[in-house]
Chain A
Amino acid sequence: MKFIHAADLHLDSPFLGLRQLPNALWQTLYDAPFTALRRLVDDAIATQVDFVLFSGDIYDRKERSIAAQAFFLEQMQRLQAAAIPVYLSYGNHDYTTGSSDNLQLPANVHIFGNDVETFKLTTTDHLHVQLTGFSYANRAVTEDMAVAYPEKMAGADVAIGLLHGAVAGVSTEHATYAPFTVAELQLKQYDYWALGHIHARQVLHEAHPWIIYPGNLQGRHVKETGAKGYYLVTRAASGELIPEFKAVAPVVWENNVVDAQQITSSEDLLAAIKTALPALPESAEKVTLTLIAVTLKHATTLPETVQDRLQNGSLLAILQRQLPAQQMVVRIDETADDKTTTALTDLDQAYWQAATKQVFTTDNLTRTAGQLLAEPLFQAALANPQTLNNLQQGAESLLKSAGKGDEA
């Protein structure tokens, strides 16, 4: 018996954090999530898996992208033609109450209902598989859904739970929906927990049961770095399940830190960034494009002209023109330098610190942002608890360059 476990396809959500990129690359980006899914389906058919699991967030409900849903439909039809059943639970992004305002998927796709539901399947090698899961009925499911999962049933050779949610009490950048504990999952006596929701690949528990987040199929922003793909799970003759990660994402994100200290010209900066780039992947077949976010340390030490060119993006444009098509720096950010106060603030440290407490508050932020907060995008951006800190660091950088007193 073999099956594929994937989650968080987010077929229709765009790549985030991009501002400028050579035009030729956009097409690669549009195709990337599709390519990743097509590769998964190719593999499913080629390796003749018994079934495919999708643990939520196949697409974003709010996006309502025709191309993405039609593509998913087409891929499901391919699996149908190969007689491969699909078990699918919707997550917080593609939640559904089963209403008919979505595309109808072919009959081989079994969709879990809003209540915990169990499907049974007998594989070609006569194994009885118990598949339990649920689909989100709305965006936020805050109760522990694992409670309602039945224990492994008598006569089931393999029991699998599909669960789109997060470990209770662990804060991530994803909202904690359908919270569960590993211990709780273990109690169900399942063989495999096919998790979704967290985009970083991770194994929460090894064997008896396996509890696995496969991560998303295609990284969509700079925080979703590295190879992305799905798990191919094979049942050995001994009955043990052997999960194996298979990378399929054609576009991969990387982070690169470059120290700008001692750099005095744009040319040197570009050279330093290029030197620090990771080597091109040898097997270029899977990864067709690496998107790299460069972070500059000690950017404040750069000459002002260079900083200006960084600010207005001209340096990035030049860099992008110089890079090969498989490797693209998408943005250059500056980190706040070491948290030392400026010379000017030394004498008045108490006053500056007091000012910090006056200025960098949510209230003041709200007041300052004013009508900008009417924009949901900004609301969301400012709702991030990190924002204040980031802004303060940015302000410190600014003041530090002001405090250098070069103009004296």
Chain B
Amino acid sequence: MRITHIHIDGFGKWQNVDFDVDQELQVFYGHNEAGKTTLHRFISGVLFGFATAKHPAAQYLPKQGSGYGGSVTVVADNDAHTRYRIQRTAGKAGGDVSVYNVTANQPEPEERLQQLLGSVTETVNSATFSFDLADLQRLTATSEADLMALVQQVGAVGSQTWLGQATDLNAKADAIYKPRGRKPELNQALATYHTLQEQVAVAAGKYPAFVQLQKQIDDDEQAQMAQVKTIDALTQKREQLTTAKRLWPSYERYRGLSRSAPASLNISDTDYTAFLQLKTQHDQLTDTINRQNSGMQAEATTSAELTFYLAHRQAFAVQADQFASVGDWIRTRQQQRQQLNDDQQEVQRIQTQDQLSEPWPIPFTETEKAEVQQLTASEGTVTSNQTHQWPVVGAGGVAIILGLLLSGGLRWLLFLIGIGLLAAGWLNVFKQPLPEANAPQTRLQALAKSHHLNGIDPSQWLGLQNDLQRLETLQTRQVTVNKQIATLNEQIAHYFEQYAFANDWLPLQKRSAADALTAAQTFEQRLVTQAATNDARIKQQTTTVKNLTDMQQQLTIVDQKRAQILSRYQLQTDDQLIQAYQTQLSSVTKSAQQQALGEQFTPALQQQLAQFNDEKEIEQQLQLTSERLGQTKQAQQTLNQQLADHRATFKQQSADESYLALQQQVANQETLLTDLLHDWLTVSLAQQWIHAALSNASADRLPAISKRAETIFAALTLNHYTEIKLTDTNLFVTEVGGQQFDAAELSRGTLEQLYISLRLGFALVMAQQTPLPLMIDDAFVDFDAKRKRAMIDVLREASTQVQVLYFTADDLMIGEVALKQLENLD
């Protein structure tokens, strides 16, 4: 690709200008500030893109309002020599670019530009195909070693840039780390790290002690428990000894009692109790027997009367059996006497009433009555029987009056009888039919005679019949009653005569029968009672006597048993037994005392006390134990304190996060170190990479480069050096005289010329691969005139292969090139 024309719309100082460009060599001449560099930048800008806003100084925005950008017309290296116009205007990311095919008169796709440029970028372009004063000036500022490196590694694209970069990287790497340095960051960080590690080691060293501390605490805790046990044991022992000391006097006494062995207990409590019971029974029995005997003697007296009675008990009983009969007799006799009296009164009353006289008329039979009736009926005489009834009524009245006079049950009896009689009489008076009258006279007379009725009118005869009959009844009854009374008198008299034997105790003579009976009854009653009492007493006595016999038997048995007990112990009397038992009791009490003491002295205690010979020994041991206890407590206190300290230390160390902080610091430091190592290795390796790549490229290209460079070097050294030779590691130059020098042996000036030769050689070699023009911006301004001319010759010769654009302010150049190849910018 060769540039044929340049058109600038607006770029820096250039506005709307056109430059025709020679396809081989084009010199742009102008003084400083004439716009050479601006033009140079414009061409690069159109081809590779304008600078972005990040680099405003490189943008060359036009000061006036004209449009930014322009176009570069090129002719392609193809056979057709097609002409393209590359136009670039303001736009994003390096400006908007368009490609126009001038030959075909048509626009081209943007990709065409890349095709035209090959794979060369602006960077590659500037590194390979651009030279400017700054490059060479930089060269003079480069150290010899770096210059040497440049020379050796010139064979790579952008090797100068790369080498500069490598140098920068080297500086960076050195700033990070130097193997023997102290200041670089990594060296410092490493030192800090080692210090931290030492600190960590020291801190970690505490760990075994810490583990040991835990063990120590465990051990201390064990020891503490053991101590507590020891203290308990000692305290217990001290208490035992104190007790032993206190008990010692009692113990000695106890031992004394133990030595005087107690009497053998030969009277058993059972026996003694039985004995006492038997003794009591004996006394009680004896007492009871005595008392009952005397009681029986006191009760033996009986009255004479009772004695008599008891002696004639049978006779009295026979008499007493008849009390009721005799009573009846006496009452019956009384009644019959009354009857007789009553009947006599009635007889007299009837006789008086009927004016009867002796011989007393005899009553008729029923037949005679009927006859008289007939006889008297013919005479027509009726007699009333009415009057014969009045005595009955009268008897009733008497009975009532008597009843009223008398008292008690009899009164009521008489009263009732009276009323009965009154009623009966009354009825007879008013309801008896009248008898009929009977007649013939004769007959009447006969009858009168036979019935002692002379002087009495026959009409009255029948009327008298009831009275006469009554009289006859009464007279008959008088006879009977009198007989009965006589019998009764006899019986009663006989009865009382039977009491004659008891006349001394029961005198009954000159007493009415009733009185006598009452007296007899009273007597009988009293004595029957007395006799009964007497009988009971006698019976009681019999029982008592039997009891006494029983008791006597019991007493015998009791006494036998008591004797048995006594004999069991070969004793004679109760008192001996009691005495023996009392003795025995007191010995039991003694042994009880011993036992009581013994209770204080448990077997264990006794055993314990038995160890000691005397109180002094106890005291010695007590003192010893107290001392040991004191010591152990002291030790406990010390241990407790130690344990507390250890625990506190343990806790404090447990809570101590400084180690963690330290570890974190180490970790952070490691991060820092690793980062730094990474950084350092990155720059170091990047630097190595550059050198390696450049070396590779140079090693490959240098033969071709040196071939091209030889001519240039000869021209620049005014043919002092004729040959450049390369080995794997070294670069040699050959003098005209054939003398060979290692590049390292060359003077600085010569070395610079060698580099420029190689650099140009490289550009030319590279130009064969890529079609870009070589742009040299006043690179040789410091050369002397001879060398400048030599350079022009070199460039002119080179321009046959590659288009060369040369920007210079050197007047010398004006005469060296054809007019069409010169563009005066001034």
Contact = CB atoms under 8 A, between A and B. Distances in A.
Given A15-B667, A348-B156, A355-B692, A65 B660 contact: yes
A314 to B, nearest CB: 15
Interface of A (DSSP majority class):
helix
A377 B30 CA distance: 62
Interface string A22-34: 0000110110000
B62 interface: no
A244 interface: no
Contact of A344 (B162, B169, B684, B688): B162
A359 B127 CA distance: 24
A201 B127 CA distance: 54
A74 interface: yes
Interface stretch (A158-166, A272-280, A394-402): A394-402
A370 B127 CA distance: 34
B297 to A, nearest CB: 100
B207 interface: yes
A370 B158 CA distance: 30
A365 interface: yes
Interface string B118-131: 01111110111010
Interface of B (DSSP majority class):
helix
Given A352-B693, A399-B689, A65 B663 contact: yes
Contact of B677 (A74, A352, A378): A378
B654 A71 contact: yes
A332 to B, nearest CB: 12
B766 interface: yes
Contacts of A113: none
Interface residues of B, number: 75
A187 interface: no
A30 B123 contact: no
A400 B147 CA distance: 23
A343 B126 CA distance: 12
A66 B659 contact: yes
A347 B157 contact: yes
A127 interface: no
B211 A345 contact: no
Contacts of B672: 19
A16 interface: yes
Nearest to A330: B671
Given A101-B208, A371-B179, A395 B671 contact: no
A250 to B, nearest CB: 15
B531 to A, nearest CB: 104
Given A68-B660, A102-B211, A344-B158, A355 B650 contact: no
A354 B663 CA distance: 43
Nearest to B214: A103
B678 A303 contact: no
Contact of B204 (A63, A104, A368, A390): A63
Nearest to B180: A371
A364 B689 CA distance: 11
A348 B697 contact: yes
A355 B121 CA distance: 22
Contacts of B128: 347
A256 interface: no
Interface residues of A, number: 71
A348 B693 contact: yes
Interface string A367-385: 0111110010110011000
Given A67-B657, A303-B54, A347 B769 contact: yes
A222 B657 CA distance: 23
Contact of B177 (A360, A372, A398, A403): A372
A27 to B, nearest CB: 8
Given A67-B660, A392-B685, A399-B165, A359 B211 contact: no
Nearest to A378: B677
A403 B158 contact: yes
Nearest to A346: B119
A6 B119 CA distance: 59
A140 interface: no
A326 interface: no
B667 A67 contact: no
Contact of B664 (A29, A351, A359, A392): A29
Nearest to B120: A347
A12 interface: yes
Contacts of A182: none
Contacts of A12: 660, 663
B210 interface: yes
Interface of B: 54-55, 119-124, 126-128, 130, 156-158, 161-162, 165, 168-169, 177, 179, 190, 193, 204, 206-208, 210-211, 214-215, 218, 650, 653-657, 659-661, 663-664, 666-668, 670-675, 677-679, 681-686, 688-690, 692-697, 700, 766, 769-770
Given A16-B667, A26-B664, A63-B204, 14 more contacts: A18-B668, A66-B210, A67-B657, A70-B210, A343-B123, A343-B124, A351-B693, A351-B700, A371-B179, A372-B177, A381-B677, A391-B685, A402-B168, A405-B121
In the complex, the 9 A-B pairs of residues with the closest C-beta atoms, listed nearest first: A70-B654, A405-B123, A355-B692, A14-B667, A394-B682, A395-B686, A343-B121, A64-B207, A351-B696
